[in-house]
Amino acid sequence: MRKYHALPVALLAVLALTACEDGTGTQNEGAAASASVTPGASGTGDRPAAEPTKNTGNAQDPQQASKGTTNTNGTTGTTNGTTGDTTGTTGKGSGKAGKPAERTRVSCNGSNTTVTARPVPRPLNHMLITVKNTGSTTCDLTYYPVLRFDEMQWAPQAIEDSKPQAVTTLAPGESGYAGVALSAADGSGEAGTTGHKLAVGFQGRTPNSSGGPSALPALPAKGVYYDSTLRVTYWLHDMDQALSY
């Protein structure tokens, strides 16, 4: 009797093991074990977290995603536009950098010019001073010449009506002019005398400052007569204009 009861028990164990291997028992237990690895991942207690929704039909590779292909047609256009602006700015900057620097101008003076002083027949009692740039650099004739006959202790004043709108600038080889009203035509001047030597001084960038060495132009052998009305024009480009005051 005991042998007959043992055989059915063993047979039932074999059948139970076979039923588990066909995917109906063991796999369910396996699914529960898998879910228990991440308990509460979706906030629902022991239920397993839902798998992420897959993007079907719009799949992109990582390189395309980094370029912003999806829904970035407008963004791509804006980026290209920005790149264009940046390139334009760079071009302007390069243009400025490529422009040659302008050479610094110097003051005209006795070291880079030749100076002549000669009386003229018209207008009466006038003298013309001519300055020619003999240097290799453009120079500026600022304000008006500072004249000194012999040992005179005063300097003639400028004729303010002759002041130009801009500084008279001489390129190499060019000339500038100043007219000198030596004496009053009606004889109203005082302390008239004859000068035999003349020094022509040059002003710097600020009034009454020195622009460099003076010039010593030769005067006629008989000298030049002048009186207390002695006046001089500003430096000008035009000779006739210089003699019109």
Q: What is the DSSP string of 7-54?
A: HHHHHHHHHHHHHHHTTSSHHHHHHHHHHTTSTTTTSSTTSPPPPPPP
Verdict on whether the full-model pTM lies above 0.75? no
Token digits for 13?
Answer: 């164990």
- What is the pLDDT at residue 128? 98
228 belongs to a structural domain: yes
Name the domain count of the chain.
1
155 belongs to a structural domain: yes
Token digits for 200?
Answer: 């022509």
The rounded distance, in Å, linking the Cα atoms of 130 and 116 is: 5
- pLDDT < 50 stretches in the chain: 1-7, 9-102
Q: What percent of the chain has pLDDT over 70?
A: 58
pLDDT in tens, 155-199: 999 999 999 999 999 999 999 999 999 999 888 999 999 999 999
127 belongs to a structural domain: yes
51 belongs to a structural domain: no
- What is the pLDDT at residue 27? 44
- What is the pLDDT at residue 103? 57
Range of the domain at 163: 106-242
152 belongs to a structural domain: yes
166 belongs to a structural domain: yes
The rounded distance, in Å, linking the Cα atoms of 57 and 63 is: 17
The rounded distance, in Å, linking the Cα atoms of 162 and 240 is: 12
- What is the pLDDT at residue 104? 76
- What is the pLDDT at residue 129? 98
- What is the pLDDT at residue 105? 84
- What is the pLDDT at residue 187? 86
